């Protein structure tokens, strides 16, 4: 069973998975597809055709513009923005208001289990790798590898994180999660489970 707040604006063509909760003042636009057990926080915006896998959390006032795709278990922190326009303008070169036909939308793809910290901005087009973590306030301008910990403006990799979200410690030739004990190997700027 879904929980949709009375003040939420959910388009009739949106698909809302079982167990998903859409809280106060959130907007879910046309043809958006939300998987099972998602949480859409107060005032969040989910654009037309956006796809969320199961168990995603989109926190308060986050803006997820189309054509974004979030795989299962993605966390979007408060006030995060996923953009969709490389060269934004309100008007054409002739000065008339732009319409849908004048717009070349590009999206952000976020792979399984990744987390985007509060007020981060992801500048489309780009892909955030599986289980990666973007620090609060970061501005992401290029693709992020799996398990990367990135921060800054513009964002850059400052370390690695495991599936538990904890920064990994390097021990010999491996990277170790202090919470789970899981080991990872790094090869050419790519991290993978050992």
From first to last of its 194 residues, what are the pLDDT tens digits of the chain? Answer: 789 999 999 999 999 999 999 999 999 999 999 999 999 999 999 999 999 999 999 999 999 999 999 999 999 999 999 999 998 999 999 999 999 888 889 999 999 999 999 999 999 999 999 999 999 999 999 999 999 999 999 999 999 999 999 999 999 999 999 999 999 999 999 999 99
Distance CA 149, CA 6 (A): 38
Q: Give the model's pLDDT for residue 100.
A: 85
CATH code, 17:
2.160.10.10
Same domain for 175 and 188, yes or no, is: yes
Sign of CA dihedral 6, 11, 14, 15: positive
Same domain for 74 and 168, yes or no, is: no
Task: Report the number of distinct structural domains present in the chain.
Answer: 2
Distance CA 100, CA 61 (A): 24
Same domain for 123 and 37, yes or no, is: yes
How would you list the strands of the sheet with 81-82, edge to edge? 9-10, 27-28, 45-46, 63-64, 81-82, 121-122, 139-140
Token pair belonging to 171 = 């021990």
Same domain for 167 and 148, yes or no, is: no
Same domain for 148 and 166, yes or no, is: no
Q: Give the model's pLDDT for residue 116.
A: 98
How would you list the strands of the sheet with 148-151, edge to edge? 3-4, 21-22, 39-40, 57-58, 75-76, 115-116, 133-134, 148-151, 156-160
Same domain for 90 and 140, yes or no, is: yes
Q: Give the model's pLDDT for residue 146.
A: 98
Name the residue range of residue 180's domain.
Answer: 162-194
């Amino acid at each position: 069973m879904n929980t949709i707040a009375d003040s939420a604006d959910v388009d009739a063509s949106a698909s809302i998975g079982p167990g998903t909760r859409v809280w106060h003042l959130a907007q879910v636009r046309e043809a958006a597809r939300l998987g099972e057990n998602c949480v859409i926080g107060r005032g969040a915006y989910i654009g037309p055709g956006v796809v969320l896998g199961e168990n995603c959390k989109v926190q308060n006032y986050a803006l997820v513009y189309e054509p974004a795709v979030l795989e299962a278990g993605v966390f979007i922190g408060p006030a995060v923005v996923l953009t969709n326009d490389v060269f934004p303008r309100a008007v054409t070169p002739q000065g008339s208001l732009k319409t849908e036909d004048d717009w070349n939308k590009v999206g952000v793809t976020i792979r399984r289990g990744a987390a985007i910290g509060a007020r981060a901005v992801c500048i489309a087009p780009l892909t955030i790798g599986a289980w990666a973590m973007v620090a609060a306030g970061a501005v992401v301008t290029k693709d992020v590898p799996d398990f990367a910990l990135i921060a800054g403006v513009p964002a850059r990799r400052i370390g690695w994180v495991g599936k538990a979200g904890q920064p990994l410690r390097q021990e010999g030739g491996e990277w170790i999660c202090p919470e789970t004990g899981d080991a990872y190997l790094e090869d050419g700027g790519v991290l993978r489970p050992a």
